[in-house]
Each structure stands twice: as C-alpha cells, then as structure tokens.
Chains A and B, each alone.
Chain A
Amino acid sequence: MIRLTSRDAPKIHGVKRIYDEVHGYIELSGVELKIVDSAVFQRLRFVRQLAAAWYVYPGATHTRFSHSLGVMHIMGLVTSRLIDLGYIYSIDDVQLLRLAALLHDIGHTPFSHAIEPFYKYKLNIGHEDLSKIVILENSDIREILSSYGYDPKTIVALLEGRYKEPLYNQLLSSDVDVDRMDYLIRDALHTGVAYGSIDLQRIIATLVVDGEGNLAILDKGIDALENFYLARMHMYKTVYYHKTLVGYEMMLRRIYEYMNEYTEDPLFPKSRDDIIRIARSGDIALWHDDWFLGMMIDMYRRGRCRELKELIEAFFLRRGYKVVVDRSRFDMNPIDIDGDRDVVMLKEIVNGVKSRVEAHQIALFVDDIKILDEDPYIAPRIIVDGRASIPITDVENSVVRVIPRRYHIKRLYAIGSKWQDVREYLTAKGFIDA
C-alpha cells in the first residue's frame, strides 16, 4: 500500500460551508452540496433525530439533517487521519466514504425508530433497506451521483457493509463507527445529558489499522474508548430507552398502524412496491414527522375511529402510555425470551387485565439492547505496546471488561386514563406493592 505523508494527502475541495452546532463549519464538496440540496435530503430537516424524545427532553428537536452532515464531517476527519497514516490513498475513496456517510440515514421514516419496527414487522423492511431503495430508485440522487462519476450501487454496498474493502465497512458500521461518534455527542448536547458525551478528537487521533486490516485504537486512547462505552450505556438508559419516551414512541407506532389501515394515502405505503413508487416519484420528500402530525390532526378532527381518536388525543395532550411495571435491568447475557420470568409475568398480566382495558390502551415492551460488541473478532481492538492488537474486552485493566453487555428492557404500559385502574388491578393481584 502506498504511504502518503500529510503534506501529500489529497483533500476534498469544499464549495460551501454550513455551520453546525456540534462541529462548527462543515465543508461540502460539489457533489455533496447537490445531494444536500435535493428534495429527498431536505426531507431530513423534518425528521427529528430522536423521534418523540422532545416529549421528555424539550431540547431534543435536532434532526436527521444535521446528524447526516455531522457523520459526513466525522468521516472526513477519520479518513484524513487514515490518509496521513497511508491506509487510504485515493481521494475518490474519501469522497465515496463521505457520500455514504451523508446518505446513511436517507431512508428513515417519519419519527424514525418509533415507526420503523412497523415496516420491519409488516414488510421486513428496515431503514437500511429504505435507504437502499431511495439511493437506487430516486432519480435525483441517482443522477447526481452518476454525473459526478459515483456508482449508486457502490454507496449501497458501503452502507450494507458489502464493499470490497472491509476497513471501509468498519468505518460505517462497527461499535465505534462514524454514525455513533456523531449521534452520541449530538444527542447528549441536545438532551443535556452531560455524561453522554465523548472525546471525539482523542478517539480519532489514536485511530490506526492493525496487521489484519481492522480498525484499532492505540493504547494511549483507551480512556477515550472506555468513556465512549460508558457514555453509550448511560445514553441507552437515560435517553434512547427512557421509560416515558418509549411509551410515546409505542403510541406513535400504534397510531401509525391504525392510520395505515384507515387511510388511502400514497405516503402510507402498503408494500415494497409502494415504497419504490414514492421514492421514484419524489413524493417521499414529504414523508416526514410534520406530515404525520398533520395527518394525525386531520384524522382526529374527522374522528372516524374511536380507538384512534383516543390515542391521538392522548398523544397531543401528553396523556400517553405510562409505565405500570418496569423490570428493566443491565445484564451480561442476551435475554431468553421464553424463559425470562419477568416476561412471562408481564404476558400474564396483559392477559389478566383484558377485562379492564381495551387492547389499544395497554402496551408491552420487551427488548434486548447490546451495549458492546463482545465478539473478539469485531470488538474494537487495542494496539498494546505498539505490537499486538487485542479486543478491548480482553484488555486486563480496562473498565470495559465489567461494563454490562446488555440492557434488558421489560415494561408494561397503560394509557394515562387507565393507568390507575391497571395499577389497582396489579396491586390487588399482588404483582406490585401498593
């Protein structure tokens, strides 16, 4: 591999600068500016990064638009470092990686993670698949990329981790990838969760590539990496899976399910083909949070479905799903859904409480969140004493060894108006203390 010095390192030529609240000025190249100016990318200004988190953290109104710019910027910083070290030597590769970073969230649905499980379950389509559809099917994006000599399929391969160069796949999708680096800082800033922030400069300054071609961190950067994991753990608990926030996200999803059933609108796609159709026509540009909120208001006024009206009212008046039982905890192992006593109990409660509440008034949430990749061959590697590269999980004195691997979330929610009834039932049955 050709080793370049920083003096020789090729640079992306910026044609425009945008001021970002996290990184300061972000430079855009010609092709990046064209992408940013396209209607499908501008849509991301109306997709909030943390779905309904602003119901708990009022400042969390930042969008996928600023996050996407941030991820591209960090990719620029990381690739500069790798160019300096001689692991990347083509300016085209840098541009390709920045474009993939810029486009990585292009397929998020309205309210992102709140709504996406609906499509995952119904059509087996996740937001990565949606991004692929947009990049390959939207003529604006396809033509912009092609006119600058970039193959849309290559961008998709990078986003899917199928690119021929494993190092590039790691940059976009690994425990310490550019996406996580941006969202942890940005989300911590906007929620005000101080212990969610990370030392980005230190992580990048100590990034290297080991003998196997894997991304690694020099041992002098281990504190920054440990802090990264601790920040992530705190953010999962206090922000991403905050009990109230999850309640409102489930409520939005249920509203979406009802509306998908009751509304014949092209922006409620019923199949993969429908999604391809709105991506091709450009209609997808209006598929965002504000569109959905507008549809909710419209539906509420028309009031065709009683359950839906009740849910929409509860959402807008902030009387949504409130947690009744919470058995969430950190753990070292994956959850055993069938054998977990808490999950069995919560299911029992759901069955028992049916006579007191309607199905839409209660919600069960069970999830198993991975805090860190502990697989030795994909966990972040540390270069110890300038020689061996070992997984951080094997570093003897590292606090990462004792960080919980999993966050098991096991909660039962009831709509605000029925919360007291359900509590009383559970107390009477001895499930919870009075």
Chain B
Amino acid sequence: MSVNILDTSQNRGRVDLLVIQLLRDTGIIREISIGTMEFRMAVQKFVYLLQVVGGLDLGFKFEWLSMGPYSKGLQNYYQRISKALASNLENNVVEFSVLEWVALEAVKKLLFNVKEQMGRLDVKVLEIVASLIMLCRDVYPKPQDPVEELVLRKKLLREDVLKIWSVIDRFGICI
C-alpha cells in the first residue's frame, strides 16, 4: 500500500484524547464554547505544552505567529475533538500510557502553579504561558527578555506576564 494519509493518521491518533483530558482536568472546558476561536486556541496551546513541557513527541511543528505558537496540522483535529466532547466521550475513562501520563501531569503541574499565582486559568493565560515558553525556547534569534518582548508585542500588563514568567522560570523550562 502506498504511503499517504492512511499511514500518518495513526501516529497522531491520541491527540484528541490528551487534549480532552487537559480541557477537563484544568477546568478550561468550563471557560469556552466548543468550536469557537477560544476552543481552537486552547487546543493549539495544550498540544504545544504537551510536546514542549510534557516531552511527548506528537509530531506537530509550531510556528511563531501573532497569537503565539501555532501548528497548521492541528486544524485537522478541531472537529474530532469537538465531536468527542459533544458526544460526552470526555466522561469515558481513557487509558493512557506512562509517557502520556507523565506529559499530562507535567503540563497540569505547570498550569496549576500558574493558576495559583494568577488567581485564574483561562485561555488568555494559557496563551501567555505558551508564548513565553516558545519565546524562550524555540524562537530564533532568542529575545533577550521574553517578558518585555511579549508585553510590547501584545500590549499585555507587565505585571501579569511577570507573574507567569516567574512560574515558568521556577520550573526550569527555558533552555
């Protein structure tokens, strides 16, 4: 059989399950409506965090765009995740591999610490977390001060960004 979508579709098959788990466990599911722009943003940032913070190789390549890390490949998954959420599949018990559990726990640990620091965890905060991590790890040339770069670029409150940065810094995510 020839090499095409039938082969590559297998590798990323569990992305939807992982994202649904994070949506549920972090409580972000309650902040968004399925299928909206915020929903898509949450999917994008969760997968980025699963790869970078969780160390899970899901094979998505992320670009640095005005709204932070973005992978075109994830456009194929919005509908799958929406469908699964809509059909209440999110309540099903899913068995994850050890690596997947480790990744989920690492992302949750980071986000819960951010929530504690900020007093909230919504899609906007998620965007700042993922953007700061991308700025300090993947963007080239690396900006001297990721906080300043993000504050200037997105006209955010410096205080908020600094709070989130302090958590990221503590976790030693930036290399």
Residues of A within 8 A of B (CB): 117-118, 120-121, 124, 128, 151, 153-154, 156-157, 160-164, 166, 169-170, 173, 212-214, 250, 253-254, 333-337, 343, 350, 359, 363-368, 370, 373-378
- Cβ of B6 and Cβ of A337 under 8 Å apart? yes
Q: Which of B5-21 contact A (CB under 8 A)?
A: 5-9
> 8 more A-B contacts (CB under 8 A) besides A121-B3, A166-B64, A370-B76?
A118-B3, A151-B141, A163-B140, A164-B64, A169-B65, A214-B66, A367-B5, A368-B76
Complex A-B, nearest 4 residue pairs according to Cβ-Cβ distance, in ascending order = A161-B63, A157-B140, A121-B3, A117-B3
Q: Which of B128-158 contact A (CB under 8 A)?
A: 138-143, 149, 153
- Contact among A128, A160, A170, A368 for B65, CB-based, below 8 A: A170
Contact with A along B48-87 (1 / 0, CB 8 A): 0000000000010111111100101001100110000000
Interface majority SS on B: helix, strand, loop or mixed?
A: mixed
Distance between B17 CB and nearest chain A CB, rounded to angstroms: 14
When distances are taken between beta carbons in the complex, the residues of chain A under 8 Å from B70 are 377-378
Distance between A252 CB and nearest chain B CB, rounded to angstroms: 11
Known contacts A169-B64, A378-B70; A337 and B79 CB within 8 A of each other:
no
Distance between A64 CB and nearest chain B CB, rounded to angstroms: 21
Q: Is B45 an interface residue (CB 8 A)?
A: no
Cα–Cα distance between A267 and B59 once the two chains are bound (Å): 26
When distances are taken between beta carbons in the complex, the residues of chain A under 8 Å from B149 are 164
- Cβ of B1 and Cβ of A166 under 8 Å apart? no
Residues of B within 8 A of A (CB): 1-9, 37, 40-41, 59, 61-67, 70, 72, 75-76, 79-80, 138-143, 149, 153
26 contacts between A and B (CB under 8 A): A120-B3, A128-B61, A154-B140, A156-B140, A160-B63, A161-B63, A161-B64, A162-B138, A163-B140, A164-B64, A166-B66, A170-B65, A173-B63, A213-B66, A214-B65, A250-B2, A335-B5, A364-B2, A365-B2, A367-B5, A370-B75, A373-B72, A375-B75, A376-B37, A377-B70, A378-B70
When distances are taken between beta carbons in the complex, the residues of chain B under 8 Å from A359 are 1
When distances are taken between beta carbons in the complex, the residues of chain A under 8 Å from B59 are 124
Interface majority SS on A: helix, strand, loop or mixed?
A: mixed
Cα–Cα distance between A434 and B1 once the two chains are bound (Å): 26
Known contacts A120-B8, A154-B141, A375-B75; A162 and B2 CB within 8 A of each other:
no
- Cβ of A121 and Cβ of B7 under 8 Å apart? yes
When distances are taken between beta carbons in the complex, the residues of chain B under 8 Å from A153 are 140
Distance between A298 CB and nearest chain B CB, rounded to angstroms: 24
When distances are taken between beta carbons in the complex, the residues of chain B under 8 Å from A250 are 2
- Cβ of B141 and Cβ of A169 under 8 Å apart? no
- Cβ of B75 and Cβ of A373 under 8 Å apart? yes
- Cβ of B5 and Cβ of A366 under 8 Å apart? yes
When distances are taken between beta carbons in the complex, the residues of chain A under 8 Å from B4 are 117, 365-367
When distances are taken between beta carbons in the complex, the residues of chain B under 8 Å from A124 are 59
When distances are taken between beta carbons in the complex, the residues of chain B under 8 Å from A373 are 72, 75
- Cβ of B139 and Cβ of A163 under 8 Å apart? yes
- Cβ of A337 and Cβ of B67 under 8 Å apart? no
- Cβ of A162 and Cβ of B139 under 8 Å apart? yes
When distances are taken between beta carbons in the complex, the residues of chain B under 8 Å from A157 are 139-141
- Cβ of A377 and Cβ of B6 under 8 Å apart? no
Cα–Cα distance between A36 and B104 once the two chains are bound (Å): 47
Known contacts A120-B3, A164-B143, A173-B63; A333 and B79 CB within 8 A of each other:
yes
- Contact among A156, A160, A253, A334 for B61, CB-based, below 8 A: A160
- Cβ of B153 and Cβ of A213 under 8 Å apart? yes
Distance between B49 CB and nearest chain A CB, rounded to angstroms: 17
When distances are taken between beta carbons in the complex, the residues of chain B under 8 Å from A253 are 2-3
Distance between B42 CB and nearest chain A CB, rounded to angstroms: 12
When distances are taken between beta carbons in the complex, the residues of chain A under 8 Å from B79 are 333-334
Nearest CB to that of B65 among chain A residues? A166
Cα–Cα distance between A117 and B37 once the two chains are bound (Å): 32
When distances are taken between beta carbons in the complex, the residues of chain B under 8 Å from A118 are 3
When distances are taken between beta carbons in the complex, the residues of chain A under 8 Å from B6 are 337, 343, 364, 366
Q: Which of A153, A156, A375 has the most CB of B within 10 A?
A: A375
